[in-house]
Structure 1
Amino acid sequence: MRYLDEQAIENIAVGAAFLGTGGGGDPYIGKMMALSAIKEHGPVQLLSTDEIDEDDFFIPAAMMGAPSVLVEKFPKGDEFVRVFQKLGRYLGKEVKGTFPMEAGGVNSMIPIVVAAQLGLPLIDCDGMGRAFPELQMVTFHLNGISSTPMAITDEKGNIGIMETIDNRWTERLARVATVEMGASSLVSIYPCTGKELQTASVRNIVTLSEKIGQIIRSNEQDDAANAAKLGDLLAATNGHHLFSGKIVDVERGTTGGFNRGCVTIDGLGETADEQVQVFFQNENLIAKKNGQPIALTPDLICLVDLETLTPVTTEGLKYGKRVRVLALPCDPQWRTAKGLETVGPHYFGYDLEYVPVEELVQKEAR
């Protein structure tokens, strides 16, 4: 057990944005909300999954929809607690804590806001180990846990409870409601016991986000030091450096409650004749180099600033920006048959067979 102060939140926001693979919302917006909450209410207690009671009850709060709309549709501020308390009252159970549904700039911060405002602990786990665009794309789904009852609300005050026949129907119906709410909503979903968090979640994601953020935010002054920082980042995440270059084209649109598109990156220097394309649906899903896959969902594809290693979200992609393309192996649960059925390339409409990133890296090296 420990407490998250302002420095920890600064680091977590950056690290979670990195793990968010382009999605999860603007880390600055989420960070400012969390910093404001702990300034008013005090530091948030962080508990590991080993420190919670199996019979206690926990629920998350998260944003659903297209992250880019947050640039113009800023949260009012009371939605997070409202949706959290709505589900708690409906279930008629005492809620002993909260946790993030995914790693991402906003969705890693919303539970901190809730925890601070309600005086609850934050549990060091999530349901993805990264970010994914749809509600059934969580390890709780892989373990047979129902997404409903769920609560959904918007900044205007509309709020409701939903119960569905399965987790895919939850996604379909909640997505329609989210589009009508202005392409973003707040949800509280996948209510879990302590035992379910211990067996079905991705553990220690908040701690990992903080460690990544510490590395990225460290000040480096020369090329050698920056190279060492990149090495530290890859070592901390078991990651791989796939490509460096300049963004030369961005195709991006908001359809069906998602940010969808493709970013094209031309190589620099010795790789000037090479090109990488990264395809995304809120999150980065497929990376191709000269037309050949070099990383595939559910492995993490992370775009970062060429020099600072600051994460670049999909809404932050712009012509001329120089970036690195990094890739990390996903949590082992996603590499199971059900995991690949849920978040593999075929689900997103790509006619590609999943190959672990470490195998693709080895193939590229030969």
Structure 2
Amino acid sequence: MIITDQMIDDIALGATVLGTGGGGDPYSGSLMAKVAIANAAKPVELIPLESVEDDWVVVPSSMIGAPTVAIEKLNSQNQMLVAFEAMEKEMGCQIAATFPIEVGGGNSLMPILVAASKGIPVIDCDAMGRAFPESQMVTFYLDDLPSAPNTLADEKGNVVTLQPIDGLWAEHFARAITEKMGGSAAICDYPMLGDKLKKSALGATLTKSIEIGKAIREANDNAQNATQAVLDIVGGVRIVSGKIIDIERNTGGGFVTGSLVIEPLKESLEPSLESVCVHFQNELLLAHKGRSAADINDENLLASTPDLISILDYETGHPITTDQLRYGQRVDLIAYPCDQKWRTPKGIEVVGPGYFGYQIRYIPIEEVAKQSAGKE
């Protein structure tokens, strides 16, 4: 499948939904991707995961850092290529194909920049099925695959190569280096052979992004409800339709963290809710009844990581990233199931609510929705 401008727009839209508020700026990412395919020596191909040869050396291409940084410090088009070629030098071979480490916003499009320059395909897969804030939060870490080597590059051309013992140490080192690089950096990690990728990665996530983006676009063209079009694909629930009445957001430590409060609209499907609080660390992590962290408990829980939580514009269904959330926005808050790999004991340990300091147990969104329905 040849990547076109329309596919890039649909990926940017759909992947930002799946990115749960994080994954980087989709607008600048889509612009760079379109320029890259226009200037490429040959068309850039999107290939299915199962078509990858077992002996191919493959490497993901992504950005690391706080999404708010990209508002003032735009990523360089060459930055991602510098990190990728540093990885080729470290590996001592040419890399056969690339792919996104996460399906989320701009990070879904970074591999296209590399593929266009190197004349290689983009693989239709990722290692999260969504976006998570830390480097070890990937299926490769769950499957005990090595993270090393890592290569990071800033927009000035500085390159740092790491040999961490695992993905957790990769996160510790890379996050600190990213801060020194201005809060945002290009990164390549988890190089592997094709047979390992096919066993560990989540397939068809870019085509799922295209499907979601197309559904939002067509719903708006036909004056239909775009949020419902998204829910029909992802199989989730609309928690509340409301207005953002309070938001707190901080950038530091390589993340954007904070919370927001949504007050239900009169026409909300959940009129019994007084208010909903949503917490985030780059990505949306937890939604509960109430207005502050003091209200977090199993009884008030509405959705939690690793299930996906997205905030969509109430009128258009377009996803809103955490750095773009504003007071007064009318939004739909939705939640839907994560991949089953994240519901394993190790998955919950790595990305469950407890990891982020929330003193509650993980309850799958299907069970939360059933409990809520039973109380009505």
Normalising to structure 2: TM-score of the pair?
Answer: 0.94
CA contact (8 A) 1:226 1:307 kept: no
Q: Give 1:226 deviation, angstroms.
A: 2.5
Distance in 2 (alpha carbons) for counterparts of 1:87 and 1:74? 23
Q: Deviations over 1:63-113 (max 9, x none)?
A: 001011001001121111110011111111231100000011110011011
Q: Deviations over 1:266-314 (max 9, x none)?
A: 0110538621111000000000123411101000000000011000000
- Residue 256 of structure 2, aligned match among 252, 255, 259: 259
Q: Which residue of 2 aligns with 1:77?
A: 77
Distance in 2 (alpha carbons) for counterparts of 1:168 and 1:350? 20
Distance in 2 (alpha carbons) for counterparts of 1:251 and 1:230? 25
Q: Which residue of 2 aligns with 1:197?
A: 197
CA contact (8 A) 1:145 1:190 kept: yes
CA contact (8 A) 2:227 2:332 kept: no
Distance in 2 (alpha carbons) for counterparts of 1:49 and 1:21? 23
Q: Which residue of 1 aligns with 2:324?
A: 316
Matched, 1:241 2:238: yes
5+ residue gaps, structure 2: none
Count residues in correspondence.
362
The residue correspondences of 1:290-329 to structure 2 (distance < 5 A) are 290=290, 291=295, 292-329=300-337
Q: Which residue of 1 aligns with 2:17?
A: 18
CA contact (8 A) 1:59 1:189 kept: yes
3-state SS of paired residue (1:269): coil
Q: Which residue of 2 aligns with 1:364?
A: 372
- What fraction of aligned residue pairs are identical, expressed as a percent? 44
Matched, 1:332 2:340: yes
Report the RMSD for the aligned CA atoms in angstroms.
1.3
Q: Give 1:137 deviation, angstroms.
A: 0.3
Matched, 1:344 2:352: yes
Q: Deviations over 1:30-66 (max 9, x none)?
A: 1111011111115310111111111111011110010
Q: Which residue of 2 aligns with 1:5?
A: 4
Distance in 2 (alpha carbons) for counterparts of 1:304 and 1:200? 30
Distance in 2 (alpha carbons) for counterparts of 1:16 and 1:274? 31
CA contact (8 A) 1:303 1:326 kept: yes
3-state SS of paired residue (2:366): helix
CA contact (8 A) 2:140 2:201 kept: yes
Q: Which residue of 2 aligns with 1:116?
A: 116
Distance in 2 (alpha carbons) for counterparts of 1:231 and 1:268? 17
CA contact (8 A) 2:57 2:193 kept: yes
Q: Which residue of 2 aligns with 1:162?
A: 162
Q: Which residue of 2 aligns with 1:171?
A: 171
Change (3 A) 1:221 1:80: closer
Q: Deviations over 1:168-218 (max 9, x none)?
A: 111101111011111111100011211111110011011000000001112
Q: Which residue of 1 aligns with 2:215?
A: 215
Distance in 2 (alpha carbons) for counterparts of 1:72 and 1:300? 28
Which residue type is aligned with residue 323 of structure 1? V
5+ residue gaps, structure 1: none
Which residue type is aligned with residue 127 of structure 1? A
Q: Deviations over 1:207-247 (max 9, x none)?
A: 0000000011125368xx423x4333212111211111000
Distance in 2 (alpha carbons) for counterparts of 1:48 and 1:218? 25
Change (3 A) 1:365 1:172: same
CA contact (8 A) 2:59 2:188 kept: yes
Q: Which residue of 2 aligns with 1:282?
A: 282
Change (3 A) 1:221 1:92: closer
CA contact (8 A) 1:53 1:194 kept: yes
CA contact (8 A) 1:31 1:105 kept: no
Q: Deviations over 1:143-173 (max 9, x none)?
A: 1111110101101111021001222111101
Which residue type is aligned with residue 12 of structure 2? A
Distance in 1 (alpha carbons) for counterparts of 2:220 and 2:20? 24
Q: Which residue of 2 aligns with 1:56?
A: 56
3-state SS of paired residue (2:137): coil
3-state SS of paired residue (1:248): strand
- Residue 250 of structure 1, aligned match among 247, 250, 261: 247
Matched, 1:226 2:234: no
Q: Which residue of 2 aligns with 1:148?
A: 148
Distance in 2 (alpha carbons) for counterparts of 1:157 and 1:93? 21
Distance in 1 (alpha carbons) for counterparts of 2:140 and 2:133? 15
CA contact (8 A) 1:266 1:272 kept: no
Distance in 1 (alpha carbons) for counterparts of 2:45 and 2:373? 45
3-state SS of paired residue (1:362): helix
CA contact (8 A) 1:87 1:149 kept: yes
Distance in 1 (alpha carbons) for counterparts of 2:240 and 2:173? 39
Normalising to structure 1: TM-score of the pair?
Answer: 0.96
253-262 vs 290-299, which moves further: 290-299
Distance in 2 (alpha carbons) for counterparts of 1:35 and 1:221? 23
Change (3 A) 1:117 1:221: closer
Distance in 2 (alpha carbons) for counterparts of 1:312 and 1:34? 20
